[in-house]
Amino acid sequence: MTDLSNSQVLSSETTSPTHSFLPKITYTGIVKWFNIDYRYGFITILDKNNPKNNVDIFAHKNDIKSLIRYKCLIQGEYINCKVTNSDKGLKCIDITGIDNNKLLCESNPDLLKKLILCQYIEKTNPNLSFIKMS
């Protein structure tokens, strides 16, 4: 059981008042979307007790814990992370995968190559939208 008396509770004006996060607790979430070009996206933190209270929190590439060169998150991927307060609101830090702390881009490099190739083709020729991955 976690002692909440000495912990700082994080909350944001952008979320409803029922959302509060403890900074040292690891939360499970799902990637709502992540833009490889802009290197950021949003993660939906899953509330096991009340699924209607799931909240979207900002995630940046620099907060992904990975040793590979091209860090990214794939839409629909389940992750573990911690939540902290920044000057712009809540954000996810220490983002890792749920499978031995490996993200999909680490455990399946071919998937990452296909994702990058599909995004490049979609940008250079939008008429080829049939190869969209998302």
pLDDT above 70: residue 97? yes
Lowest mean pLDDT among 14-18, 51-55, 66-70, 72-76: 14-18
Q: Show me where the domains of the chain are located.
A: 27-131
| 41-to-7, 9, 38, 50, 134 alpha-carbon distances in Å | 28, 23, 8, 23, 14
To the question of domain 27-131 being in CATH 3.90.1150.10, the answer is no
Percent of the chain with pLDDT over 90: 39
Contact indicator for 111, 104 with CB cutoff of 8 Å? yes
